[in-house]
């Protein structure tokens, strides 16, 4: 962010009050941007961002379509263009399956569909910016699964939280690819950053200490293990790729890409899920995550899914 002036720019960060989102919110605001933080718990969010200038909080529940529409309407009513949209909030799935009111699996619904609906609603403000960026925070977990086209909501009983998470993170990348194809002519570019594994965030802590130790994320005393060369990062190191996507002039004229370590990821043509160990956490992008035909197919499916009324 050194040397980047965002004075006069407007940004929205979903989940911008905790973890990587809070670090990104602070970085954007300190560079001069006006930031709206979208959060389910506005009281908690307001306390978290207290003292950061040019930051306001708006109620946003990505599992509730009416909440998304209300958030969009409030922002559009301000008449402000939107220069940066960081779709960062994530739903951490528990052991069992969780569904929203429509019957949709919650990680897919919140991590992808909620942000899809939000972004489509904010398109007029993004277009009005005359140059905007949409940043969809993803994960190296995109390597682990394509979209489960025949059953994305796990109605056949094969659900696991890890598989559901991986599908949602692949969706983030495919959404990025198709959004950039459709909207780049309007000056809107899209990016999917993988922040790395950040043990200190509530999201990763939710796995529990035993699982974190098995993954080599915390030591015996429960302290985070920081090893950025192996993808294990501090919150600031993790958020770096997110704010790089949102602001870096190095990405001018480039879009629809998956980012890792503040750079465009090489393609791993043969991603092997079983090579994941505590010392080796591969995170390069898999072919299924950037396939343009899949990206168009997911966009069309997502449009149909967000049109469905709650049961």
Contact in structure between 239 and 24 (CB atoms under 8 Å): yes
Q: Looking at the chain, which runs of residues are DSSP E strands?
A: 10-14, 34-39, 55-59, 84-87, 132-136, 188-194, 257-260
For 10, the 3-state DSSP assignment is: strand
CA max distance for the chain: 52
> In Å, how far are 104, 112, 155, 211, 297 from 309, measured between CA atoms?
12, 17, 18, 38, 21
The candidate with the shortest Cα–Cα distance to 22, out of 45, 51, 56, 5, is 45
Question: What's phi and psi for 110, nearest 5 deg?
Answer: -80, -50
How crowded is the C-beta side of 22, counted as CA atoms within 13 Å? 17
| Known catalytic residue at 165 | yes
Contact in structure between 252 and 229 (CB atoms under 8 Å): no
For 65, the 3-state DSSP assignment is: helix
The candidate with the shortest Cα–Cα distance to 5, out of 31, 35, 34, is 31
Cα of first residue to Cα of last residue in the chain, in angstroms, is 45
CA–CA separation, 222 and 200 (whole Å): 10
Kindly name the residue from 75, 165, 191, 258 that is annotated as catalytic: 165
Catalytically active residues are 165
């Amino acid at each position: 962010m050194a040397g980047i002036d965002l004075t006069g720019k407007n940004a929205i960060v979903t989940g911008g009050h905790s973890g990587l989102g809070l670090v990104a919110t602070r970085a954007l605001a300190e560079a001069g941007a006006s930031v709206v933080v979208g959060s389910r718990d506005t009281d908690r969010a307001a306390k978290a961002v207290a003292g950061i200038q040019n930051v306001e909080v708006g109620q946003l529940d990505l599992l509730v379509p009416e909440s998304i529409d209300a958030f969009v309407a409030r922002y559009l009513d301000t008449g402000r263009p939107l220069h940066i949209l960081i779709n960062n909030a994530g739903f951490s799935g528990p052991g069992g399956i969780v569904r929203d009111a429509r019957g949709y699996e919650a990680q897919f619904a919140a991590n992808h569909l909620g942000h899809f609906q939000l972004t489509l609603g904010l398109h007029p403000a993004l277009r009005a910016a005359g140059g905007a960026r949409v940043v969809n925070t993803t994960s190296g977990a995109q390597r682990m699964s394509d979209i489960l086209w025949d059953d994305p909501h796990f109605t056949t009983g094969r659900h696991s939280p890890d598989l559901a998470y991986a599908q949602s993170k692949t969706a983030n990348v495919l959404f990025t690819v198709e959004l950039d194809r459709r909207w780049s002519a309007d000056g809107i570019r899209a990016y999917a950053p993988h922040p790395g594994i950040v043990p200190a965030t509530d999201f990763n802590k939710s796995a529990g200490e035993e699982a974190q130790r098995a993954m080599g994320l915390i030591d015996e005393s429960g302290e985070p293990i920081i090893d950025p060369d192996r993808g294990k990062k501090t919150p600031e190191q993790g958020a770096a790729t997110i704010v790089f996507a949102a602001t870096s002039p190095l990405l001018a004229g480039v879009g629809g890409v998956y980012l890792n370590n503040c750079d465009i990821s090489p393609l791993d043509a043969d991603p092997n899920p079983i090579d994941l160990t505590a010392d080796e956490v591969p995170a390069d992008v898999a072919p299924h995550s950037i396939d343009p035909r899949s990206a168009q197919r997911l966009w069309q499916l997502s449009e149909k899914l967000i049109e469905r009324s709650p049961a």
